[in-house]
Amino acid sequence: MLTEAQGRLLTALARNAITREFDDSAPTLPHPDWLGAPGAVFVTLTQDGSLRGCIGSLEAHRPLGDDLEHNARAAAFRDPRFPPLSQAELERVRVEVSLLTPAMPMRFSDEADALAQLRPGVDGVILEYGWHRATFLPQVWEQLPEPRLFLAHLKQKAGMAGDFWANDLRLSRYGVEKFKE
């Protein structure tokens, strides 16, 4: 569990990584030792309350500080749903960092059982089926509070029909610690 001060540092580091893409003379912020531990984060950018970019890692495969900065730049400049962030937009963008817990596979007998196990507002969910894969952070429950609707939209994000179901579809869940500017 991170402190509020650590959370503020994460959001500041994410903003700094984006800022340095526009101005490489901008000072870098200090990286305390705890940022060297493996970590998985999503960086979400919003502008005027609307999504402007969101990219992250589902598994801790590099140091937290590196993952944070990489995903901040990716959210700003490489989210395929949006054009690259412009320097003029930078001041209007708000940064949110979600630090993920390790994903745990869910065990269920059918879709109704899976839906009954989902915890709105708590669970981030990873859906996998063949080459299809998608995730929703727990924050998505704010827009899709009903489990059936949440799962249907997650399937659509993965490129499947919202009513698709197969017995070998896999779901995993994770939690987040989130920090906003």
Q: What is the pLDDT of residues 91-108, one digit of tens each?
A: 999 999 999 999 999 999
The string of pLDDT tens digits covering residues 27-77 is: 889 899 999 999 999 999 999 999 999 999 999 999 999 999 999 999 999
Helix (H, G, I), strand (E, B) or coil at 13: helix
Domain 104-175 falls under CATH 3.30.1490.150: yes
Predicted local distance difference test score (pLDDT) of residue 174: 98
Predicted local distance difference test score (pLDDT) of residue 122: 97
Predicted local distance difference test score (pLDDT) of residue 1: 87
Predicted local distance difference test score (pLDDT) of residue 40: 97
Give mean pLDDT, residues 127-155: 97
CATH class for the region spanning 4-100: alpha beta
Angle in degrees, CA 58, 94, 10, rounded to 5: 50
Predicted local distance difference test score (pLDDT) of residue 62: 97
Helix H, strand E, coil C: the string for 73-122 is HHHHHCCCCCCCCCHHHHHHEEEEEEEECCCEECCCCCHHHHHHHCCCCC
Residue 53 contacts residue 18 (beta carbons within 8 Å): no
Predicted local distance difference test score (pLDDT) of residue 70: 98
Give mean pLDDT, residues 149-177: 97
**What sections of 23-81 are H helices per DSSP?**
64-77
Q: What residues does each domain of the chain span?
A: 4-100, 104-175
